Structure 1
């Protein structure tokens, strides 16, 4: 299975090729803005690095969110364009899955995993997983002060690993929770993980943005 993975969901831009059990090419840059200009040249570079063309791929995998409104649409638009040109299927991967599956097994062993994604507002996007990375409920959007109570209901006690680019936002409110650790690294999705998940899964989400919150857009008033 040869898969192109794409991600621009948060504050990074990455592309990678997974080919029969390993990543053969990967490029990534931290990038809060400018992904629209950077992504296609990055894809062209990783395809050249891997020695393949779009026509030689089996599918495309892309993060569908949640994340930044504009960022999500950049990678999705690119995935649709490449897929349409080559007649390829697209498999969607949530940002939560991409971050959770990047965690080393020994780091999460014996712990539930809380993935916290920066929404660029006061409330982070959250999803809880067991140590085998099976979701423990649906994603939510919560103010930090509400997180300890939500966790007490979802995962009362026990070791917890917090990951994602909004993990630091939760540190003050989780200070009283025993045996809570924070994952190393920036907590951004990685297209290499997205590509691997796209290769290993038989089905996924549609290539549509998963927002969890209505976009912050003000519609023009109707003329009287």
Structure 2
């Protein structure tokens, strides 16, 4: 199965093509192989670079759009403007090509990228930049999310039984934990999270962004209206 994966929930604009195969047996995981990937870290360039990145990946892998079987997109948590670019682009590709579009939590994808280092070692904390001196966070045990996603200041993150951390390089040092090298969702991580649904041929759920708080534009508009009343 050939899957297009995109994520714009962090400052990294990510696109990639991933080949997904079923597990060989009940004790192994589905095989995920990255064929091409593009990542550009620029929180203000999501709209400008995502579609060109997708086209570059298709060209590099020698794959036509008609060869795609599905699309996976990170649904956050993330800032309003960047997040909606990735989700709208994924939805547009799916609609144009008649493909299922599966949304996955972007923090789950980082945890999936960290699974080999963290498996059976204890809980993993994943954090990404939420701006306003806050982080989005979630905790994982044996690859499964056990808390979150939520948003708060780093000092207020409930540590639970976390023994390691992955995610935003600008924030992992706020925590006294060993740091794993996965900073943003990878195409392989995104597809790994969606793999059970993809391989089962499940009908995707509606794409609902994980903002976790109201966008600034809405809050400011509300204050303006409230002040005028």
Q: In which range does the TM-score fall when normalised by the shorter chain?
A: 0.7 to 0.9
What does residue range 67-146 of structure 1 map to in structure 2 within 5 Å?
Answer: 67-103=78-114, 105-130=116-141, 132-146=142-156
Query: Shift of residue 57 of structure 1?
Result: 1.3
Give the structure with the larger strand fraction: 2
Query: How far has the Cα of 1:83 moved from its partner?
Result: 0.7
Any stretches of 5+ residues in structure 2 without a counterpart? Answer: 22-32
Other structure's SS at 2:156 match: helix
Cα RMSD between the aligned structures? 2.3
Deviation at 1:145, TM superposition (A): 2.3
> What TM-score comes out, normalization by structure 2 length?
0.82
Matches of 2:190 and 2:205 in 1, distance apart?
Answer: 12
State the distance in 1 between where 2:205 and 2:12 align.
Answer: 21
1:62-108 Cα distance to aligned partner (Å, 9 max, x none) = 00000121111111111111111111111001111111111151355
Deviation for aligned residue 1:126? 1.1
- Which residue in the other structure is 1:51 paired with? 62
Tell me by how many angstroms 1:205 deviates. Answer: 5.2
Match of 2:44 in 1: 33
Structure 1 Cα separation of the partners of residues 154 and 192 of structure 2? 32
- Counterpart-to-counterpart distance in 1, 2:57 and 2:154: 38
**Residues 205 and 98 of structure 1, relative CA distance in 2, 3 Å threshold:** farther
Report the counterpart of residue 215 of structure 1 in structure 2.
Answer: 215
Aligned-partner Cα distance in 2 for 1:114–1:50: 34
| Cα distance, 1:32–1:108 mapped onto 2, change above 3 Å | farther
When normalised by structure 1's length, the TM-score is 0.83
Alpha-carbon separation, structure 2, partners of 1:104 and 1:135: 12
Between the aligned partners of 2:112 and 2:20, the Cα distance in structure 1 is 18
Contact 1:93/1:205 (<8 A) preserved = no
What secondary structure sits across from 1:9 in the alignment?
coil
1:127, CA displacement in angstroms? 0.6
Return closer, same or farther for 1:198/1:48 CA change in 2, 3 Å cut-off: farther
Aligned length: 209
